Amino acid sequence: MNAWGDRLNKFTGKTRFVVCRIFVHLAGDDIAPLLGVLNRTGRNAIDAEGDLEVVGEGLVEICQNLLQMNPYWQSAGNEGDFFWREGEAGDYFNELFTDSAQRYLSEVTLSQEDESTPLSFPITRNLVVMLTVAFTGEEPDLETNLADIEALEYGLKALINLHYNQRLQAIQIHYSPAQFGDQLTNDQLLLNFSELIPL
C-alpha cells in the first residue's frame, strides 16, 4: 500500500492489523530446558482451550526465557505485513500458522509415554522457536529486520509489552524439534529454515 493510502486510513480511524512471525535458532548443550518451557506452555494453552490470556502469559514466559538464553542464539529471521482489513490479516495469520506447523518435527504430540520409553534422551543441540502473532496498531521494534542481536532483544521485549497492553489478537507458537529425544540436524536446519540469518 502506498504511503498516501496508509495516511488516509489512519486519518479515517481504521484499525491497523499487523501479523508477524519471528524465528529464533538456538544451539548448544544447555538449550534443552527451553524445550521443557515450550512443552509446558503448549500443554497449558491446550488445557485452556486456546484462551488468549493464558496463551499470552505463555508467550511472555517463552520470550523471557529466550532473552535469558541469548548466548545460545545462532540465527534469526522474521517476516510479516500489515492490513487494514481484519479478514485479510486473519488469512495471512492462518497461512503462517499452516507453514510453521509443517516445518520439520514442529508438530506437538502430547501423548503419554509408554513404559518402554527410555528415561534418558539424546541432547537436543538445535532448537528453532517460531512465534507468530497478530496485533493492532504499530510496533516499530517488530516491523523491522530482527536478524541482529540487539534488534531481536527489542523485538522479544515488544512482544511481552503487546501482551500486557492487551493488543495481541492471535498467538501461535511452534518449535522444532517438538519434544525431548527428537533431533534437528544441521542439514535439516538448512533445508527447512532457509529464512534464518546468522547473528
The domain total for the chain is 1
Extract the C-alpha cell encoding 79.
Answer: 517476516
- pLDDT tens figures, 44-58: 999 999 899 999 999
- Residue written as grid cell 507453514: 99
Domain residues for the domain of 45 are: 22-108+124-194
129 located within any domain: yes
Rounded to the nearest 5 degrees, what angle is found at the Cα of 79, between the Cα atoms of 154 and 55?
Answer: 65
Residue 119: pLDDT band by 50, 70, 90 thresholds? very low
Confirm whether 134 is domain-assigned.
yes
Residue 113 lies in a domain: no
Is residue 10 situated within a structural domain? Answer: no
pLDDT tens by residue, 124-149: 789 999 999 999 999 999 999 999 99
Is 118 a member of any domain? no
Residue 3 lies in a domain: no
**Residue 5 within a domain:** no
Instruction: Tell whether 67 is covered by a domain.
Output: yes
Query: Which of 40-54, 148-162, 179-193 has the highest average model confidence (pLDDT)?
Result: 148-162
Residues contacting residue 19 through CB under 8 Å, at least 6 positions apart: 80, 81, 82, 83, 89, 92, 93, 96, 132, 133, 134
Separation CA 100–CA 131 (nearest Å): 9
